Structure 1
């Protein structure tokens, strides 16, 4: 059971128009379940994660903060989030839902194509406490009472936000990753002979009148009874010690890290703390969200806001590789600015969503709709589309690809071909050969930039560099030629 699509309306930076995301779902291939959100700051990447959190858990925030505001500052009247699931929904419901809720779920699960199961939920700010389900028979969302708690159980979200203290996630509280992980393990262990023996021994020490501790406590009980009966009449008081629940033993626990000196985790740097929190998240996905007996995964989704924070480049690359592995069978949602997350040979399997701000509205497009190369997407290509950032990598890729497609391998032939594509020779280039400066000759802007990239040793031309604007213009020109000749790839 996976997240298939999300619709956002009037939620924070997303306007009254429906904003639609169709997510990648795991296929068993590395990277297939990974969804990466990229774009400039304040373009809505983290808002998508907030929208998913909103539909599951509602919110206690002021609704004026949630509602989209127009350019005049006026707020919209209602924010609406719709989330659709796809996959083995019937099997998941029968395995993990309460038995008395199964039939109600069946009534709101439907099939649209290829025999696949679908299930859709919605929440709006006009009915903030109501989680609605899609009714295929009447083509509308309705309030199916009593399913909210079960839906939450089947829709387990795990967030690590950019501003989350990673030490909090690795703490042992009931709602933290570490606390939940150990609680799940402990719940099973509570049935073992070892723990039953512990419970028996606990009662012998704390509740048996023959124990040394209990005899000391009895002294206090007698004094308490004496004072109490003198004031309130005949009565008998005694202390009863209930066997503590197994998860309570973890509350005073901590993680020790030994990298030569053993200290508590909260004494380490933020990068190491965040790495531990992310590692716990991965283990949780592997250990908890799978029913060994029925060989079926409980729905489980990872949401990580800017995982590169506090991680050095090597750490970022290792983390990304771990997320690629997890995404073979799990859905992972990541917001990032890291170039190390955009420079992988598995990017063609990954769902890449580009966020931009246009006319005070967040706009989303999927990166794999219009590729430049057969080997797309590339790091340079994504940076160009997501951030409008021209890079030397993309310039080299475009120049070499156009040379290959045109069949013109040497500079002179390629320049002639570029002229035939309406590219003018308005720049001058001066070659150096064995320290001798040769006469200047006219070249296109594309070749001018390319020669600068490939011949940084040319001392003469170091005095005539290209500008960032010219790099941008050169890339734009090559993209124009690429598309004019239908060399680009349309998915």
Structure 2
């Protein structure tokens, strides 16, 4: 289960924020000091943390985490209504954190085996498929948790009701046994099965309802940890628990299952005994129709301590007694170990890192971000607050959130749309950092649209995700001018020949001369990219484009390619596209079709790229030289 959306109301500088989050990539928050980055991470702690810190005004307290200027409950409800969420009915004096949690079908199967509270089971059943909404309200030194559940117009809260109350509703609504679904198809109806039947008879709608975590409920929600470089022993042990969870589960799950089975047997025995003495109870408490119990055997698992053995120590030493430097090193190594053993799976942990680059030199920062990237692909969802240009350099641009304070003193967050927004958010200059690792130079508008699609088809990642900038020199005749500009811009950085990969039509090699060609230059086709595309691909493209008008065959396409000039600079009419256009015109004349009445094949820009990409949809349809250029980019 991971967080897909968090909505923050009235928390410090975060008067109102609505954030969409990625599961498989680090969610990066950048901005100047005091912009609200740490506050955003702490809001996640308020939602999912075990012991979140929140200050309210009260006796002996002179500070509060409540925003100074509150967004009213009316405005909160207007926002929720716009998101098709139920409304709240409390007053304005509250911090409210709302989270949309998303889980997989495999996780649903695991929930069946957990001894969940009726409140959580009912919420899971009532919400849209694989979605669970949870909210936390902080006010007057109190905290209240809510779930979205289907509830009657006059609230009953049957998930918190006694068996007698539920049975009373069954009788009141005249619900028959046939109307109650018995999931096991044997034995007595459970309270939950009766609750479902009762609500099925009533006029219900989705509402926010009060919720208290049950002991097994916490196994459903992801475990949240907020890390910085002031790492405590408790946080190190928490990290160790996360890393060793699979090893712990191997031994603890059978014990938990045994405990649940034993609890059910004990519950049946106790309830049988209650049944035997029910008449005695009724004599004393005449209004009581029946009495029953719920039994849960609590099985807790955790690493309780960490010991280290040092080269100069006489046996294991408690890590608690070691210096902060060693604690940080152990914590870093545990996270690194988590990445090295990471496998894809359901999200079990949400880890937030507040300026993790602190005390790390640039190379270590790059390594640490790679580690966070790797664990994000497994069962850890990551959130990062950072000033590090290295972290930003290695992030997907569309996963970077720019955090800033507006003139009114409250935090606003926007996705970074381009490099300019990165520079503005961090108040950096061009000389402070170079965002891209490498540059791919192409010569025209068609390649500008075509190449990124082919790269993603070939590698499974976008150019931006691999920190590659695509540059268009806009024609062969501008080669020398643009090459000088590029070299000048990159002159103060790493050698440009190491950063620049050139992907051109082969006719460019005749323009610039073989003497200046380097191993980073790749030339496609006999003359251009079009004649390098496979005959079968062209056959599919043309027959689809002219379906019902003209029909083409492989012999024709092969003959047109044979007509392309080889190994020399040539005139335009000796290249594939002009040859193809001329052949289409001749084919129309031979078929008594007015050439001007048929649609023409696009020859440049996005339209041309889309024309080609329709059937260049597998890796083996990408010309070899293009794949070689992509391989060089990724070295």
* Deviation per residue, 1:100-130 (Å, 9 max, x gap): 5368424445565xxx521100011238332
- Give 1:123's aligned residue: 136
Contact 2:36–2:403 (Cα < 8 Å) also in 1: yes
TM-score (norm 2): 0.44
Q: Against the structure 1 CA distance between its residues 55 and 285, is the aligned structure 2 distance closer, same or farther, given a 3 Å change threshold?
A: farther
Instruction: In structure 1, list runs of 5 or more residues that go unmatched.
Output: 27-32, 193-244, 372-379, 415-446, 457-485, 487-491
Q: Partners of 1:455 and 1:332 in 2: how far apart? A: 34
- Give 1:164's aligned residue: 230
1:302 CA drift (Å):
1.8
1:299 CA drift (Å):
2.5
Q: Against the structure 1 CA distance between its residues 124 and 167, is the aligned structure 2 distance closer, same or farther, given a 3 Å change threshold?
A: closer
Contact 2:26–2:382 (Cα < 8 Å) also in 1: yes
1:91 to 2:102 alignment: no
- Give 1:140's aligned residue: 207
Larger Rg: 2
- Give 1:43's aligned residue: 35
* Deviation per residue, 1:355-382 (Å, 9 max, x gap): 0111201000112xx33xxxxxxxx556
Contact 2:104–2:346 (Cα < 8 Å) also in 1: no
Q: Against the structure 1 CA distance between its residues 106 and 278, is the aligned structure 2 distance closer, same or farther, given a 3 Å change threshold?
A: farther
1:390 to 2:390 alignment: no
Q: Against the structure 1 CA distance between its residues 257 and 183, is the aligned structure 2 distance closer, same or farther, given a 3 Å change threshold?
A: farther
2:22 to 24, 30, 37: 24
- Give 2:392's aligned residue: 342
1:177 to 2:239 alignment: yes
1:66 to 2:58 alignment: no
Q: Partners of 2:312 and 2:367 in 1: how far apart? A: 19
Q: Partners of 1:273 and 1:381 in 2: how far apart? A: 38
SS in 2 for 1:325: helix
Q: Partners of 1:88 and 1:453 in 2: how far apart? A: 46
Instruction: In structure 2, list runs of 5 or more residues that go unmatched.
Output: 57-62, 71-91, 151-203, 255-298, 442-468, 494-605, 607-635
1:191 CA drift (Å):
11
Q: Partners of 1:328 and 1:321 in 2: how far apart? A: 11
Q: Partners of 2:339 and 2:112 in 1: how far apart? A: 16
The 5 A counterparts of 1:446-457 are: 454=491
Q: Partners of 1:130 and 1:168 in 2: how far apart? A: 26
- Give 1:155's aligned residue: 221
2:98 to 70, 82, 85: 82
1:6 CA drift (Å):
0.3
Q: Against the structure 1 CA distance between its residues 149 and 81, is the aligned structure 2 distance closer, same or farther, given a 3 Å change threshold?
A: farther
1:255 to 2:302 alignment: no
Contact 1:78–1:124 (Cα < 8 Å) also in 2: yes
SS in 2 for 1:3: strand
Q: Against the structure 1 CA distance between its residues 272 and 314, is the aligned structure 2 distance closer, same or farther, given a 3 Å change threshold?
A: farther
1:9 to 2:12 alignment: no
Contact 2:117–2:214 (Cα < 8 Å) also in 1: no
The 5 A counterparts of 1:398-417 are: 404=473, 409=478
Contact 1:93–1:102 (Cα < 8 Å) also in 2: no
* Deviation per residue, 1:385-436 (Å, 9 max, x gap): 4223221466999x9988735988479899xxxxxxxxxxxxxxxxxxxxxx
- Give 1:358's aligned residue: 406
SS in 1 for 2:369: helix
SS in 2 for 1:65: coil
Q: Partners of 1:363 and 1:150 in 2: how far apart? A: 37
Q: Partners of 1:248 and 1:365 in 2: how far apart? A: 39
Q: Against the structure 1 CA distance between its residues 342 and 382, is the aligned structure 2 distance closer, same or farther, given a 3 Å change threshold?
A: farther
Contact 1:34–1:351 (Cα < 8 Å) also in 2: yes
1:157 CA drift (Å):
2.7
Contact 2:144–2:210 (Cα < 8 Å) also in 1: yes
Contact 1:92–1:298 (Cα < 8 Å) also in 2: no
* Deviation per residue, 1:61-84 (Å, 9 max, x gap): 32242111249xxxx722111000
SS in 1 for 2:365: helix
1:306 to 2:368 alignment: no
Contact 1:158–1:302 (Cα < 8 Å) also in 2: yes
CA RMSD of aligned residues (A): 4.8
Alignment size in residue pairs: 336
1:101 to 2:154 alignment: no
1:316 CA drift (Å):
1.5
The 5 A counterparts of 1:291-302 are: 297=346, 299-302=348-351
TM-score (norm 1): 0.55
Contact 1:109–1:119 (Cα < 8 Å) also in 2: no
Q: Partners of 1:284 and 1:395 in 2: how far apart? A: 28
* Deviation per residue, 1:255-285 (Å, 9 max, x gap): 2355999996679875663242133246568
Q: Against the structure 1 CA distance between its residues 51 and 455, is the aligned structure 2 distance closer, same or farther, given a 3 Å change threshold?
A: closer
1:278 to 2:332 alignment: yes
Structure having the higher strand fraction is 1
